């Protein structure tokens, strides 16, 4: 059980199209002051691509920066590298798996947020999930890393340590006296909670004929990472998937594309009810992330879309107040591929939808 009741607060999902870290952080803090997060900035540096970002020091993987390529490296004998990885892993020291500034400038900019953190109550981070990562990184024969049993286990444990390190990094930000002193009351001065998301867009491939994904193995890999996170843990999938699988895991927050897949989620109403009853939170990705749709969107229309999406679950007996109490408002996915102007409008729309819904909740 968690006591996380965001009541339609807003936050972001992942990437932004900005090349300048300071500008990206200003836009993020302006729109998500209560749950700020660190954005991935792939246009600043290819190493901020969600797959490159967590490949730092990963056994068997190489980045070719001039050509912006990531892939498995075949060597005559990989076992010495694998054995060295397990020796490092078994030291149980997340600092050995730190993400450097070159790979995540936004993470360090969040740490240095200063006065911009004064209204924060939670700090959100993210790590790429093992299924999506393992399907994306392939060798010269196009065999994905996920289908190599030895490297799959290395990948899962590598990402679990990355998640642990990031959580402790954010905890240190939220616990700093200089951060707490920016807030007024003794209650407000309490350490900020963290939320670490495991981003898994490739879970949309479950059931697809061209991808062999075993449900039990997917759950096993996700749970290994979830179990490494001691605070709030979330997952993001921007496509349709087997929602019952995610709803039955130990995850606290499920982020989904509510514009396109609310009806699919409603098919699993009993699972959603159990998830909410145990303290789970749904992050409703109600703000579009396609350039043309962002241009046409208004906060009023998106609030109406959100109400319609939630009504699908209400019709199946899920309490309206519970749904709004256990709701976050987000874009449907990351915004790294749209224009800067469109991304900034999408952030503004997310904030405006949140404000309108929250104003209505207190009336």
Residue range 150-168, pLDDT digits in tens: 899 999 999 999 999 999 9
Distances (CA, A) of 53 to 129, 191, 357: 12, 27, 34
Run of H or E including 345: helix 340-361
78-82, 197-201, 208-212, 330-334: least confidently modelled range: 208-212
122-136, 149-163, 177-191: least confidently modelled range: 177-191
Cα–Cα dist 186/306, whole Å? 35
Cα–Cα dist 79/70, whole Å? 21
Cα–Cα dist 360/260, whole Å? 24
What is the reported pLDDT for 187?
47
Handedness of CA 275, 273, 247, 271 (dihedral sign): positive
End-to-end CA distance of the chain: 28
Cα–Cα dist 65/261, whole Å? 36
Residue 273, pLDDT above cutoff 70: yes
CA angle 301, 336, 55 (to 5 degrees): 140
What is the reported pLDDT for 277?
95
Give every CB contact of residue 72 below 8 A, 6+ residues apart in sequence: 60, 61, 62, 137, 138, 139, 140, 143, 145, 148, 151
Cα–Cα dist 20/109, whole Å? 11
Run of H or E including 255: strand 253-256
Cα–Cα dist 303/58, whole Å? 42
What is the reported pLDDT for 71?
85
53-67, 70-84, 131-145, 232-246: least confidently modelled range: 70-84
Mean pLDDT of 245-257: 97
Cα–Cα dist 234/220, whole Å? 16
């Amino acid at each position: 059980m968690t006591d996380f009741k965001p009541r339609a607060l807003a936050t972001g999902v992942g990437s932004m199209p900005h090349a300048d870290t300071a500008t990206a952080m200003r836009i993020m803090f302006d729109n998500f002051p209560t749950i700020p997060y660190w954005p991935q900035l792939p246009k600043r540096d290819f190493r901020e691509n969600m797959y490159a970002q967590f490949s730092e020091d990963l056994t068997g993987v190489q980045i070719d920066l001039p050509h912006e390529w990531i892939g498995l490296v075949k060597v005559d004998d990989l076992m010495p590298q694998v054995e060295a990885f397990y020796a490092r892993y078994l030291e149980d020291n997340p600092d050995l798996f730190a993400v450097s500034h070159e790979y995540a400038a936004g993470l360090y900019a969040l740490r240095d947020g200063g006065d911009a953190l004064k209204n924060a109550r939670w700090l959100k981070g993210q790590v790429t999930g093992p299924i999506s990562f393992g399907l994306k990184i392939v060798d010269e024969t196009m065999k994905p890393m996920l289908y190599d049993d030895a490297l799959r286990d290395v990948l899962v444990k590598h990402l679990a340590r990355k998640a642990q390190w990031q959580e402790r990094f954010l905890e240190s930000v939220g616990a700093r006296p200089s951060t707490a002193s920016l807030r007024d009351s003794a209650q407000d001065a309490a350490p900020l909670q963290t939320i670490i998301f495991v981003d898994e867009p490739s879970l949309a491939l479950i059931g697809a004929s061209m991808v062999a994904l075993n449900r039990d193995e997917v759950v096993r890999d996700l749970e290994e990472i979830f179990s490494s996170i001691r605070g709030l843990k979330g997952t993001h999938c921007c496509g349709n998937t087997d929602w019952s699988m995610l709803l039955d895991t130990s995850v606290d927050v499920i982020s989904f594309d509510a514009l396109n897949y609310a009806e699919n989620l409603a098919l699993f109403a009993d699972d959603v009810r159990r998830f909410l009853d145990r303290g789970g939170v749904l992050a409703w990705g109600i703000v579009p992330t396609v350039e043309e749709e962002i241009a046409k969107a208004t906060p009023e229309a998106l609030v109406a879309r959100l109400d319609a999406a939630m009504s699908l679950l209400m019709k199946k007996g899920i309490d309206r107040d519970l749904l709004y109490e256990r709701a976050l408002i987000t874009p449907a996915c990351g915004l790294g591929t749209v224009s800067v102007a469109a991304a900034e409008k999408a952030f503004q729309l997310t904030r405006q939808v949140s404000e309108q819904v929250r104003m209505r909740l207190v009336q």
